[in-house]
């Protein structure tokens, strides 16, 4: 077991000038919700979007703020959270490039129902939600794509609820690590590095537990050579164990 001296996370190399018009168009073309849209329509649609850069830790919007915009991650990772009490938060999801967040509603009195924070330096496109609704009205394909994305998220959210209701904490954490490594994992050394800053608090807020409990479980996994972990990073050394811990 080698002692690491520094974080294995890639340095944040996202800078403002990368959010160029060219990149933006390329991004929208690849975005799952615009799949099947013709090139000229894409060009038209592109004009509705604004790009903006966010520094790590910067809040994009707070829950209960008036909600007017739909956003798209171009670069970086965006964390969606909700606050319960004083220091009790719930981490709903972590988004990667191509994913959407914000609101689709065009009602005036509508508010965001989660807080969005840049987990890393990020570039985000935004569009006024009523404009996006117009686009959906004129292109049923787009509406159906967004519907498919939302349905998938609903299924995933219910899955989370199921796991929270029925699994003990350690299994919940295994499952979270498994899902994160599928979404954000990159080969690193002899394992898979979850490529993002990830604290014990983040994991606790995903699993509905305390940082201390997460720490204890992670320590045990480390002792058993199933993961390697340090300050704000995790690598999976034994993916098979993490994937099927049912019998454990």
Partner DNA sequence: ACACTTAATTGATCCACCTCATTTTGGTAC
Partner DNA sequence: GTACCAAAATGAGGTGGATCAATTAAGTGT
Applying CB under 8 A, the residues found at the interface with a second copy are: 82, 84-85, 88, 90, 92, 104-105, 113-114, 133, 136-141, 143-144, 146-148, 150-151, 153-155, 157-158, 160-162, 164-166, 208
Q: Is 117 in the site for DNA (CB under 7 A)?
A: no
In the complex, the smallest distance separating the C-beta of residue 95 from DNA, rounded to whole angstroms, is: 21
Which one of DNA, a second copy, none interacts with residue 201, CB within 5 to 8 A by kind? DNA
- The residue among 22 and 108 lying less far from a second copy, judged by its C-beta, is 108
List the single partner that 232 binds among a second copy, DNA, none, CB under 5 to 8 Å by kind: DNA
CA-to-CA distance for 174 and 125, rounded, in angstroms?
33
Judged by beta carbon, residue 64 or residue 232, the one nearer DNA is: 232
Residue 79, strand partner residues = 94, 117
5 binds DNA (CB under 7 A): yes
Which is it for strands 115-118 and 100-102: parallel, antiparallel or unpaired? unpaired
Nearer to DNA, 61 or 233 (CB): 233
Question: For the CA atoms of 152, 155, 159, 165, what is the dihedral angle to 10 degrees?
Answer: 140
- Output the smallest distance, CB 141 to a second copy, in A: 7
Q: Could you tell me if 34 and 145 are in contact, meaning their C-beta atoms sit under 8 angstroms apart?
A: yes
End-to-end CA distance of the chain: 23
For residue 180, the number of C-alpha atoms closer than 13 Å in the C-beta half-sphere is 28
170 near DNA, rule: CB under 7 A? yes
Sheet with 227-230: strands ordered across: 185-188, 191-194, 233-236, 227-230
Own/partner pairs, 43-47, CB within 8 angstroms, 24+ separation: 45/135
Q: Footprint of DNA on residues 175-204 (CB under 7 A)?
A: 199-201
C-beta closer to a second copy: residue 205 or 228: 205
- Residues 194, 161: Cα–Cα separation, whole Å: 23
Using CB under 7 A as the binding rule, whether residue 219 contacts DNA is answered as yes
How many whole angstroms separate alpha carbon 159 and alpha carbon 28? 29
Q: Which residues contribute to the site for DNA (CB under 7 A)?
A: 3-7, 168-170, 199-201, 208-216, 218-219, 222, 229-233
């Amino acid at each position: 077991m080698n002692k690491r001296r520094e974080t294995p996370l890639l340095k944040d190399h996202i800078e403002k000038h990368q959010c160029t018009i060219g990149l933006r168009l390329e991004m929208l073309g690849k975005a799952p919700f615009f799949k099947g849209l013709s090139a000229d329509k894409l060009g038209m649609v592109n004009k509705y979007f604004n790009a903006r850069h966010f520094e790590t830790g910067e809040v994009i919007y707070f829950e209960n703020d008036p909600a007017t915009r739909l956003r798209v991650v171009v670069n970086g990772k965006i964390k969606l959270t909700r606050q319960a009490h004083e220091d009790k938060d719930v981490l709903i999801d972590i988004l990667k490039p191509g994913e959407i967040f914000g609101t689709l509603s065009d009602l005036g009195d509508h508010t965001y129902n989660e807080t969005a924070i840049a987990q890393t330096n990020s570039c985000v496109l935004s569009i006024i939600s009523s404009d996006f609704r117009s686009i959906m009205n004129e292109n049923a394909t787009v509406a159906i794509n967004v519907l498919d994305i939302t349905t998938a998220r609903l299924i995933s959210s219910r899955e989370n609820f199921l796991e929270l209701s029925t699994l003990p904490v350690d299994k919940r954490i295994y499952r979270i690590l498994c899902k994160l490594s599928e979404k954000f994992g990159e080969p690193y050394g002899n394992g898979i590095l979850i490529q993002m800053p990830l604290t014990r608090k983040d994991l606790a807020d995903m699993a509905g537990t305390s940082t201390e409990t997460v720490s204890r479980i992670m320590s045990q996994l480390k002792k058993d050579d199933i993961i390697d972990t340090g300050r704000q990073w995790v690598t999976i050394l034994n993916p098979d164990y993490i994937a099927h811990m049912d019998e454990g």
